[in-house]
């Protein structure tokens, strides 16, 4: 559970830029420390660049968690998940945000600005931060994913 001050890397493409800015402000207001990996405008860019940048910050433990936004949350999560040690989850609501932490121990949360409204995204992000990995049978499954990375 992340109720204290957390370091969070944020990144988005042009489609996710506005929602990324809004969520970063929300996180700052809550007292969290933000590492902004860009982008900085609505000018068209490629989402893999930003998914990779956020993923690398998380994997190197420069930050505790990552937040990514693109149009759907899908492309940028696929990119972030290519970084070893990253478990990025494309989340659509409070329930998927909670389960991403409890079952998947997700360390990067991804939103689609064309899919989710800003208030739902804020609530989902808050729930993600307030939830903890449940362990138990889920630990084994996370380990199986880590094994795939070792054997790559
Ligand atoms: C950009 O138009 C869009 O393709 C991108 O933001 C994202 O939705 C990809 O998955």
37-55 per-position pLDDT tens digit? 999 999 999 999 999 999 9
Residue closest by Cα to atom 7 of ligand 1: 71
Quote the distance between the C-alpha of residue 124 and its chain's center: 11
pLDDT tens for each residue of 13-34: 999 999 999 999 999 999 999 9
Q: Is residue 14 part of a domain?
A: yes
Domain count for the chain, please give it.
1
Q: Give the Å distance between the CA of 110 and the centre of ligand 1.
A: 12
Q: Determine the angle formed by the axes of helices 118-130 and 94-102, rounding to 10 degrees.
A: 20
Ligand 1 atom with the shortest distance to the CA of 75: 10
Q: Is residue 21 part of a domain?
A: yes
- Which range of residues forms the domain containing residue 72? 7-150
Q: Is residue 2 part of a domain?
A: no
Q: Give the Å distance between the CA of 77 and the centre of ligand 1.
A: 11
What value does the mean pLDDT take over residues 131-151?
95
Contact 107, 62 (CB under 8 A): no
Q: Give the Å distance between the CA of 68 and the centre of ligand 1.
A: 12
Predicted TM-score (pTM) above 0.85 = yes
Contact 47, 76 (CB under 8 A): yes
Q: Which residues contact 95 (CB under 8 A, 6 or more apart)?
A: none
Which CATH number is 46's domain given?
3.40.1400.10
Q: Is residue 33 part of a domain?
A: yes
User: Which of 13, 21, 17, 32 is CA-nearest to residue 128?
Assistant: 32
């Amino acid at each position: 559970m992340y109720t204290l001050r957390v370091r969070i890397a944020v990144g988005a493409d042009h489609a996710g830029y506005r929602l990324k800015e809004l969520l970063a402000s929300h996180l700052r207001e809550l007292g969290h420390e933000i590492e902004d990996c860009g982008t900085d405008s609505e000018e068209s860019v490629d989402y893999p660049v930003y998914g990779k940048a956020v993923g690398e910050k998380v994997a190197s433990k420069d930050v505790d968690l990552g937040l990514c936004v693109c149009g759907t949350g899908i492309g940028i999560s696929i990119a972030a998940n290519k970084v070893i040690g990253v478990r990025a989850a494309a989340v659509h609501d409070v329930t998927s945000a909670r389960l991403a932490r409890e079952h998947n121990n997700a360390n990067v949360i991804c939103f689609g600005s064309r899919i989710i409204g800003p208030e739902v995204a804020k609530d989902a992000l808050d729930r993600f931060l307030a939830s903890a990995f449940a362990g138990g049978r889920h630990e084994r499954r996370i380990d199986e994913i880590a094994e795939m990375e070792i054997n790559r």
